[in-house]
Amino acid sequence: MSQDLVNRYKKSIRLSFQNAEIESQYRKKEDSRGRSSSVFAFSVLFFINIAFCYLEFRAFGVETSLPMYGYLASALLALSNALLSQFGNKPYMQKIRLFSNVALSMGVVMAAVYLQKYSAYHTAEMSLLVIWLASLNAMRLVLSSVASVVGITAYLILLYVAEVSVFWLILVAVFLIVAAMLGGYLSYLLERQRRMLFLRAMIIRDMNSRQESWAFSLIDLDMALGGITDFKELIGLLKKYLEPVIKFESYVLTSLEGQGPKPIADKVEGRLFEDEDKTIWSQDLLSKLTQTRQATISSEHETVKGFLGIPQEKFTSYRLDVPVFSDSKLMGVISLRRADEAFDDLDMIAGVSISTQAMLIYKRSTKNAAMVLDSSVPDPVIRKPKLTTPVGRDPAKDLHKTLADKMLATQSTNLEFTDNSDPVEESLEEIDQQVAPAELIKKIRQEEEQSKKTITLLSRENADKISIDRYRSAAIEGEPLSILIIEVDGLSKLREQDGDQVAYKVFAAIVKYIFSQVDKEKDVLGRYGQNGLSVLMPRVDMNAAERFAESIRQFVARAVYKTTFGDKSATLSIGVAALTDETGDYGAMVKRADMALFVAKKNGRNCVKVRL
Which pLDDT belongs to residue 428? 40
Q: Taking residues 126-130, report their average pLDDT.
A: 84
Cα–Cα distance measured from residue 353 to residue 285, given in angstroms and rounded to the nearest whole number: 20
Cα–Cα distance measured from residue 80 to residue 103, given in angstroms and rounded to the nearest whole number: 16
Which pLDDT belongs to residue 538? 93
Assigned CATH for 460-610: 3.30.70.270
Query: Amino acid identity of 464?
Result: D
Weakest-pLDDT range from 163-167, 207-211, 241-245, 305-309: 305-309
Which pLDDT belongs to residue 414? 43
How distant, in Å, are the alpha carbons of 393, 426, 428, 435, 442 from that of 438? Answer: 18, 16, 10, 9, 6
Which pLDDT belongs to residue 367? 63
Residue 389 or residue 104, greater confidence: 104
Does residue 421 carry a pLDDT above 60?
A: no
Which pLDDT belongs to residue 430? 45
Weakest-pLDDT range from 19-23, 63-67, 367-371, 480-484: 367-371
Task: Dump the DSSP string for 285-305.
Answer: HHHHHHHH-S-EEEEEEEEEE
Which pLDDT belongs to residue 137? 61
For residue 146, give the nearest of 88, 195, 198, 102 by alpha carbon: 102
Which pLDDT belongs to residue 343? 86
Does residue 371 carry a pLDDT above 70?
A: no
Q: Is 406 helix (H, G, I), strand (E, B) or coil?
A: coil
Q: How confident is the model at residue 546 (pLDDT cuts 50, 70, 90)?
A: very high
Q: Taking residues 397-418, report their average pLDDT.
A: 39
Q: Pairing relation of β-strands 416-417 and 372-373? A: parallel
Helix or strand run (H / E) with residue 283: helix 283-292
CB count within 10 Å of CB 510 equals: 23
Which pLDDT belongs to residue 445? 57
Q: What does the pLDDT look like over 504-527, one tens digit per residue?
A: 888 888 988 898 899 888 899 988
Q: What does the pLDDT look like over 308-350, one tens digit per residue?
A: 777 777 778 888 999 988 877 888 889 898 887 788 888 888 8
φ/ψ bin of 260: left (φ > 0), alpha (ψ from -120 to 50), beta (otherwise): left
Which pLDDT belongs to residue 192? 82
Which pLDDT belongs to residue 409? 33
**444 contacts: CB under 8 Å, gap ≥ 6:** 396, 399, 400, 403, 424, 427, 431
* b/e sequence 453-462, b meaning 16+ C-beta within 10 Å: eebbbbbbbb
Cα–Cα distance measured from residue 100 to residue 84, given in angstroms and rounded to the nearest whole number: 14
Contact 242, 213 (CB under 8 A): no
Torsion of CA 37, 41, 44, 48, to 10 degrees: 170
Q: How confident is the model at residue 260 (pLDDT cuts 50, 70, 90)?
A: low
Cα–Cα distance measured from residue 589 to residue 594, given in angstroms and rounded to the nearest whole number: 9
Residue 389 or residue 456, greater confidence: 456
Query: Amino acid identity of 318?
Result: Y
Cα–Cα distance measured from residue 332 to residue 256, given in angstroms and rounded to the nearest whole number: 5
CA pseudo-torsion sign 509, 514, 515, 516 = positive
pLDDT > 90: what percent of the chain? 10
Q: Taking residues 435-449, report their average pLDDT.
A: 55
Q: Is 468 helix (H, G, I), strand (E, B) or coil?
A: helix
Q: How confident is the model at residue 481 (pLDDT cuts 50, 70, 90)?
A: very high
Total residue count of the chain as it appears in this document: 612
Does residue 478 carry a pLDDT above 80?
A: yes
Which pLDDT belongs to residue 271? 73
Which pLDDT belongs to residue 281? 83
**456 contacts: CB under 8 Å, gap ≥ 6:** 411, 412, 413, 414, 415, 525
Write down the mean pLDDT value for the chain.
76
How distant, in Å, are the alpha carbons of 7, 147, 153, 324, 340 from that of 15? Answer: 14, 19, 26, 43, 19
Q: Is 37 helix (H, G, I), strand (E, B) or coil?
A: helix
Cα–Cα distance measured from residue 168 to residue 162, given in angstroms and rounded to the nearest whole number: 12
Cα–Cα distance measured from residue 599 to residue 255, given in angstroms and rounded to the nearest whole number: 38
231-368 carries CATH number 3.30.450.40: yes
Does residue 483 carry a pLDDT above 90?
A: yes
Which pLDDT belongs to residue 149? 84
Q: What does the pLDDT look like over 10-67, one tens digit per residue?
A: 777 777 776 777 777 777 776 666 556 677 778 888 888 888 888 877 776 655 677 8
Ordered by start, the domain boundaries in the chain are 3-202, 231-368, 460-610
Residue 563 or residue 61, greater confidence: 563
- To the nearest 10 degrees (0 to 180), the angle between helices 20-60 and 65-87 is 150
Task: Dump the DSSP string for 526-544.
Answer: EE-SSSEEEEEEET--HHH
How distant, in Å, are the alpha carbons of 485, 537, 609 from that of 606? Answer: 13, 21, 10
Residue 275 or residue 284, greater confidence: 284
Weakest-pLDDT range from 29-33, 199-203, 385-389, 579-583: 385-389
Q: How confident is the model at residue 90 (pLDDT cuts 50, 70, 90)?
A: low
Does residue 173 carry a pLDDT above 50?
A: yes
pLDDT > 70: what percent of the chain? 76
Q: Taking residues 237-243, report their average pLDDT.
A: 83
CB count within 10 Å of CB 50 equals: 17
Which pLDDT belongs to residue 442? 61
φ/ψ bin of 309: left (φ > 0), alpha (ψ from -120 to 50), beta (otherwise): left
- Rg of the chain over Cα atoms, rounded to whole angstroms, equals 39
Cα–Cα distance measured from residue 421 to residue 407, given in angstroms and rounded to the nearest whole number: 10
Does residue 425 carry a pLDDT above 70?
A: no
How far from chain centre, in Å, is Cα 491? 29
Which pLDDT belongs to residue 574? 95
Phi/psi of residue 596, nearest 5 degrees:
-65, -40
